[in-house]
Amino acid sequence: MFVDKAKITITSGKGGNGAVSFRREPFVPEGGPDGGDGGNGGDVVFVSDGNLKTLLDFKWNRTYKAEDGENGMKKNCYGKSGKDLILKVPVGTVVIDDKTGKVIKDLVKDQDKVIAAKGGKGGKGNSRFKSSTRQAPNFAEAGGEGSLRTVRLSLKLIADVGLIGFPNVGKSTLLRAATNANPKIANYHFTTLVPNLGICEIYDDSFVIADIAGLIEGAHKGAGLGHEFLKHIERTRLLIHVVDGAETEGRKAKDDFDKINRELSLYGKDLSNKTQIVAFNKKDLISDMEDYEEFKEYVEGLGYSVFPISAATGEGVRELLSFTLNRLKALPKEDEPSSPLEEFTVKREDEQDDFKFLEASKEGEVYRLSGKQLKKIFDSTNFNDLGSLRYLYKYIEKNQGIAKLKALGLEEGDVITLFGYEFIYNEED
């Protein structure tokens, strides 16, 4: 089953907590604190793999989590960092942050990789808080939280040549005649529901052809699954535009040609600027080639090369493929996306812009303080230890927490809420 899109939830590992420990060894006076740091949480990493061709694995399993870091231990032993979670995807996969719609990474080459969710940083053990005025700190730092993120995966096939055209014009038949592919072929519209790939081998050389499922008028707006098909054309270096020269559907070949090119232009992303070769198909069903000469004059007048072929009998196919190979060799290789991408910068929790921001608010008679770094320090606080409580209060005071609450009307005896816990505010003497 070919799957070219998926939406999944990823969570990086939580950092391990720092340890609170003191040396207690015989004959070792004043051993002091020896709590080790916690290990970092594992990252979630996407890696492109040239052996994969579909996002099928992500169709059924949509939740992924990296390993948490271990807590620190006594004797200054650090906790083990969590293992990174490696998620393999096909080459050509675009990783998109679902919340912002921005691209995290476009994985266009084999073994490209990107960290999509950074693990939490391990917390410091109590030995790291020892100072000349704090000889026996009885608290440690909590590990940083992992990042929870929803990402969209969008696979855009990477092929040298894309076959485009209306449904039932013979693209799948041409793919079978030109390559080792065996696509489903039938005399009805949208026989091809997903792109098919094949390798054309000619003159001791080869190139990859993708049969892009039939486009229709309005495809740039999504009609007929237009967006699902058009996105695969973005990666191709050259297009073979197949038209029904026998006009078996009752449409004019010239009109079909113009309508498809109009859809490419309206979709944007430089699709209309790609090198294009025109295949005037179903020659075997044409008794009078006068219409072909008229079509050829029109198309060549626009700067395109046109070849009369019969994909069903193979007539003219080799000449078309030979010309295509020569045009490909003259084109520059494109390893990077042709259009600029607005990339999303992945940050760990403590690297985010709002991490140190301390917010004060008032609801009724209750005053509240919140913030990511405040939450981390709060989780690290030992409420049975005066030094640990003083450390929490100094952070709040240093970051203008009390001043902000006073600006909202805080007075002695009022209730301050921190993450579900209530405290009575008292003025210091």
What is the mean predicted confidence (pLDDT) over 298-320?
A: 94
The fold adopted by the segment(s) 161-330 is: Rossmann fold (3.40.50)
pLDDT tens sequence across 85-113? 999 999 889 999 999 888 999 898 899 99
Residue range 321-340: average pLDDT? 75
Residue 222 confidence (pLDDT) above 90: no
Q: What is the dihedral of CA 190, 191, 197, 199, to 10 degrees?
A: -120
Strand 415-418 and strand 421-424: the pairing is antiparallel
Mean pLDDT of 186-200: 61
Q: Is the pLDDT of residue 216 over 70?
A: no
Full DSSP string of 287-324: S-THHHHHHHHHHHHTT-EEEE--TTT-TTHHHHHHHH
Condensed to tens digits (0 to 9), the pLDDT of residues 333-376 reads: 654 444 445 567 788 877 787 778 889 998 888 899 998 889 88
CATH of domain 5-155: 2.70.210.12
> Mind listing the pLDDT tens digit for each residue in 129-140?
888 777 888 889
Are residues 300 and 270 in contact, defined by beta-carbon separation less than 8 angstroms? no
**Is 232 or 80 the better-scoring residue by pLDDT?**
80
Compute the mean pLDDT over every residue in the chain, rounded to the nearest whole number. 85
Instruction: Find, among 320, 154, 332, 334, the residue nearest to 232 by Cα.
Output: 154
Q: 401: helix, coil or strand?
A: helix
- Which one, of 44, 55, 10, lies nearest residue 114 by Cα? 44
- pLDDT band at residue 119 using 50, 70 and 90 as cut-offs: very high
Angle ∠(329,333,335) on CA atoms, nearest 5: 160
Q: Which pLDDT does position 277 carry in this prediction?
A: 96
The CA–CA distances, whole Å, from 179 to 53, 212, 318 equal 17, 15, 11
219 vs 19, residue with greater confidence: 19
Predicted local distance difference test score (pLDDT) of residue 172: 86
Q: Is the pLDDT of residue 329 over 70?
A: yes
Q: Which pLDDT does position 137 carry in this prediction? A: 87
pLDDT higher than threshold 70 for residue 6: yes
CATH architecture for the domain at 355-424:
2-Layer Sandwich (3.30)
Which residues have CB under 8 Å from 266's CB, separation 6+? 220
pLDDT reported for residue 241: 95
| Torsional class of 409: left (φ above 0), alpha (ψ -120 to 50), beta (otherwise) | left
Distance of CA 369 to the CA centre of its chain: 35
Give me the residue spans of the domains in the chain: 5-155, 161-330, 355-424
What is the mean pLDDT of the segment spanning 258-271? 81
pLDDT digits (tens, 9 = 90+) for 25-84: 776 666 789 999 999 999 999 999 988 888 988 988 999 999 999 999 998 899 999 999
Give the per-residue pLDDT at 226: 40
Show the DSSP H helices in 36-130 as ranges. Answer: 57-60
Are 309 and 315 in contact by the 8 Å Cβ rule? The answer is yes
Is pLDDT larger for residue 268 or for residue 3? 3
Given this model, what pLDDT does residue 194 score? 61
Radius of gyration of the chain (CA): 32
